[in-house]
A and B are shown apart, each in its own frame.
Chain A
Amino acid sequence: MRHVDDGALHAWLDGEMEVYPADEARWIREHLATCSACAERLEDARALREEAVAILSGDDVELENLPSLEELRAQARGSGAGHEPVVGGGGDAGPVRGSRGRRRSRQLAWAASIVLAAGAGWMANALLPPGGPSGLQYLPPPGLDAPAQRQPAEFRSVAFPDGEEEDGEASGAGASALEEGGEGVEPSAPSTSTENAELPTVGPSPDRARSVTPPEQEVVGLASEAALATEAEKLAAPVADTGVTLPAALVSELSDVVEARRSAPTEPEVEPAPEMERIVAQADVVAAVPEGVIPGLPVLSVEAVPAPGEGWWVRQRMESGVEVDVFLLPSSTPPSELPAPADGVNQWVERRGDGWRVLRGRLPVEVLQALAEGR
């Protein structure tokens, strides 16, 4: 005997029977009126629904100090086109409410510090002979004179001026550590040792991690901080956002460069430009990985969708070696406009944000669905 499924029971309780065809809705009503088993299940579903609502409603956010509609309208009139946040941004965007500006500044500083640290490590390994002569050399950014009294640059977190300082809060690593519930980082004198030039470490040693540049040395080479932070975020975001594994070729190439430099018996040539250019070009490929790829799977290629040309076509590889094509399409390009999948290739289509995501591969549909849902 056919019974009402759980989904229909919840739709019934939510007053959403109109999502079913009229015949089906009528059958459900009649069945619930006559089937004691389903009536009992309906009561269980009702209890479950009420419990879930109670769980969710037990944590109600304070709704005081919400902006009025007039304030929102004023901000909409005052803000320009584009998708930059209109709050916390100052300028003509009307009264600043909230703290997103400060937050963003701090996030950029973090992104910049990571890329600087990683970049310093790579550069140190690539450019200096094994062991190093006497520590890393300080390389001033363009436009700044080499500081005579500064400590040699080292592989550490670089503290940036932070918007939080004006509020009397700590900045840099200490502030973020506190934010994350971690222990505060006590300022201490910077280390000058060079044992940190080891791959694959991308970050400071534990001791070094706890050191912060003293206040008088915080602004080190920040002539183009804003530009640097922007670039840093661009570079750091794709990998961190998606959990995408760096292409093996890039990792391998970086390792080769470093190893070649290390094993060089004499002073390395100070002309790394071609290698660096290639590395930067590879990094650009990584940076081009769009959002929506399957986390954890290596990206083999990123291309524009062949036809009609709008959206991304990302090819990824599973551990088993099976390749999965991920098409990320804007809402203006429905999946039906993609070329039909080849024989034996299944696909999973889903709405995603303002567009579509289509997964294709020689895999069962259930596997594609699981990949799409991150399972």
Chain B
Amino acid sequence: MSIDWSELYRTTFPELVRFLHRKVWDPDQARDLAQEAFVRALRDPPERPRAWLFRVAANLARDEARTALRRKRHLTLLVTEAHVTREVAPTPSEEMDRARHRERLRTALASLSERDREVLLLKEAGLSYTEIAEETGLAAGAVGTTLARARRRLKDAYEAGHEEENDAARG
């Protein structure tokens, strides 16, 4: 099967970066991993490149997350008095809102099961139910059910985070 690489790049690469960003939460890293996945596809063209790209990207992100977790554990051993005193430089209010949203989203996504999160992000990245089923091993008919649950849980967790922030602000 001949692959239209220009079309694939145009329609998939930005979505791949977005997808990865919601997994690693680092724009540079997301771009690097998307690049790595795409280069692998160019080197050894897969049969169904779009689904393949997201599968490889998910695996790369998982590896990165494990490495990050390992480093975090090491820090737990090595820095036992880690007082978190991160200073937040003054930023425009829009930037602050965005940072708050990102943190809430990150927490909300983390509260989902791995499968729910994967299905949600793959759908958001534009994959069809059939492609999501192929990627996750779910039956295509079960994707909608998983998606319905994931959307509900994301909304609930996001709103819960918002309420917690408001409670904290009120003291």
Contact = CB atoms under 8 A, between A and B. Distances in A.
Interface string B118-137: 00110110001110010111
Nearest to B77: A203
A14 B144 contact: yes
A61 B106 CA distance: 13
A98 interface: yes
A72 B13 CA distance: 11
16 contacts: A10-B151, A19-B144, A55-B158, A62-B27, A63-B14, A69-B6, A97-B31, A111-B70, A111-B74, A114-B74, A114-B78, A182-B84, A241-B70, A349-B137, A351-B135, A373-B114
Interface residues of B, number: 79
Contact of A353 (B5, B55, B70, B146): B55
Contacts of B13: 66
A157 B78 contact: yes
Interface in B14-47: 14, 17-18, 21-22, 27-32, 35-36, 38-40, 42-43
A159 B154 CA distance: 41
A352 B137 contact: yes
A14 B129 contact: yes
B115 A55 contact: no
Given A14-B144, A86-B39, A182 B73 contact: no
A253 to B, nearest CB: 22
A116 B118 CA distance: 37
Contacts of A125: none
Given A61-B30, A87-B32, A183 B85 contact: yes
A240 B71 CA distance: 9
B35 A11 contact: no
B82 A236 contact: no
A209 B151 contact: no
By secondary structure, the B interface counts as helix
A98 B83 contact: no
A6 B79 contact: no
Interface of A: 5-11, 14, 16, 19-20, 45, 48-49, 51-53, 55-63, 65-67, 69, 72-73, 75-76, 79, 81, 83, 85-88, 97-100, 103, 107, 110-111, 113-114, 117, 157, 173, 176-177, 180-183, 185, 202-204, 206, 209-210, 236-237, 240-241, 349-354, 373-375
A100 B71 contact: no
Residue picked from A45, A72, A85, most chain B C-beta under 10 Å: A72
Given A52-B154, A241-B70, 15 more contacts: A9-B148, A19-B130, A19-B144, A55-B158, A56-B121, A62-B27, A66-B31, A72-B35, A98-B31, A99-B32, A103-B29, A110-B74, A177-B82, A237-B66, A351-B135
B18 A209 contact: no
Nearest to A47: B155
Interface in B55-85: 55, 58-59, 66-67, 69-75, 77-85
Contacts of B75: 173, 176-177, 180, 182
Contacts of A61: 17-18, 21, 27, 30
Nearest to A98: B32
Contacts of A79: 39, 43
A237 B140 CA distance: 35
A59 B102 contact: yes
